[in-house]
Homo-oligomer: A and B are copies of this chain.
Amino acid sequence: MTRRVTIHDVAAAAGVSVATVSKAVNGRYGVSPETVSRVLDAVRALGYESSLVASSMRSRRTGVIGVLVADIEPFSAEILKGVGGALSGTGYDLLAYTGARRDGEGWERRSLSRLSGTLIDAAILVTPTVVNVAAEVPIVAIDPHTGRADLPTVESDSFTGAQQAVHHLVQLGHRRIGFIAGRPDLRSAVARASGYREALSAAGIPFDPALVGQGHYEQDVAREAAHAMLALPDPPTAVFAANDLSALSIVEVAAARGLRVPDDLSVVGFDDVPEAARAQPPLTTVRQPMKILGAEAVRMVLALLAGEELPETHLQLATRLVARGTTAPPPRR
């Protein structure tokens, strides 16, 4: 807990003004070589490192890309890995930010206005709660909000993904297939719901509203929904959950109710977060390329930063079913 070394300390040590130190450190013209080396010696001796905060107040560029997430959970963590990987070697630092107040709506607006223009050069919003945000920096949204966004977006093909999930269950012989929906304000959740219904109808299975629960992409909420659904007089033999966390909740609830998975109940998730494979039994799920979503968002943001025009402003990536241990033919009556 020592006092921070400021540019003033360096200036004093090198016997020059702070302005000269600034120039020397940032390699500006108009400083003699001797002065530069004297300043840099002082910098080294004192262990000086300019304050991100102070310098970002004055100069526009900071060399930092911000990723705003509501929460660090398996999905956003994968995105972060992808962003980090894509950023490495670009010279940009990565700053991931989670606001303490997760009071739903608009957390990213708050975080964004707190950081943007000053601290970060560009932002990547993960599962934002609003369609558009104003900021003085380039922004890309991953897994965006419903409504046509002005923002460039990156997402998976959730509609087809959901169809893959339901199709898989239908193939196994299931006819009563439940659905635990995701966050209704996200396009991905809406698309997964549509894909579910579409696949049902393609298989000639009538839609039963009793078999749809709200999971909000959240473990606890999904747990409630799963309990309700499995308590139905005519419960489903299979459930498709809009994300893996929800699917894992279902498996847990099923076990608590004495149902064996997959013998008594099949479960399919969505995402394929690393945790899905580790579950017992390993979760059958629809894989979306999370790291690539992150990497693509970086590509876009970097292009925007370079002043380029984006060839594609709304990227959609393919999903693929990964059959593991939570799906099997329905139990026979």
Residues of A within 8 A of B (CB): 1-5, 47-54, 56-57, 63, 71-74, 77, 80-81, 83-85, 87-100, 102, 109-111, 113-119, 134-138, 273-278, 282
B-side contacts of A274, CB under 8 Å: 74, 273-275, 277-278
A80 touches B77 (CB 8 A): yes
B-side contacts of A138, CB under 8 Å: 1
Q: How far is the CA of A300 from the CA of B111 in the complex (A)?
A: 26
B94 touches A90 (CB 8 A): no
**Copies per complex of this chain:** 2
Known A135-B2, A274-B274, A278-B274: A90·B100 in contact at CB below 8 Å: yes
B94 touches A95 (CB 8 A): no
Chain B proximity of A290: nearest CB distance (Å): 12
25 pairs of residues in contact across A and B, judged by CB atoms under 8 Å: A1-B135, A5-B113, A50-B114, A51-B117, A52-B114, A54-B57, A57-B57, A72-B84, A72-B85, A74-B274, A77-B77, A80-B80, A88-B102, A93-B97, A93-B98, A93-B100, A94-B97, A94-B98, A94-B100, A95-B97, A95-B98, A96-B96, A119-B119, A274-B278, A278-B278
B-side contacts of A135, CB under 8 Å: 1-2, 4
B92 touches A95 (CB 8 A): no
Q: How far is the CA of A97 from the CA of B54 in the complex (A)?
A: 17
B57 touches A53 (CB 8 A): yes
Contact of A100 (CB < 8 Å), options: B83, B92, B114: B92
**Given A2-B134, A47-B109, A88-B100: 7 more A-B contacts, CB < 8 Å:** A2-B135, A52-B119, A53-B119, A54-B57, A71-B84, A71-B88, A88-B102
Chain B proximity of A50: nearest CB distance (Å): 7
Chain B proximity of A200: nearest CB distance (Å): 30
The closest CB in chain B to the CB of A294 belongs to B72
Chain B proximity of A300: nearest CB distance (Å): 15
Q: How far is the CA of A135 from the CA of B84 in the complex (A)?
A: 26
B-side contacts of A89, CB under 8 Å: 100
The closest CB in chain B to the CB of A65 belongs to B100
B-side contacts of A73, CB under 8 Å: 81
Which of A3, A94, A118 counts the most B-chain CB atoms under 10 A from its CB?
A94
Contact of A94 (CB < 8 Å), options: B3, B72, B119, B282: B72
B-side contacts of A54, CB under 8 Å: 57, 118
Which of A2, A49, A56 counts the most B-chain CB atoms under 10 A from its CB?
A49
A-B CB proximity, top 5 nearest: A277-B278, A274-B274, A72-B84, A49-B113, A53-B118
Contact of A110 (CB < 8 Å), options: B49, B77, B83, B275: B49
Chain B proximity of A96: nearest CB distance (Å): 4
Q: How far is the CA of A24 from the CA of B44 in the complex (A)?
A: 43
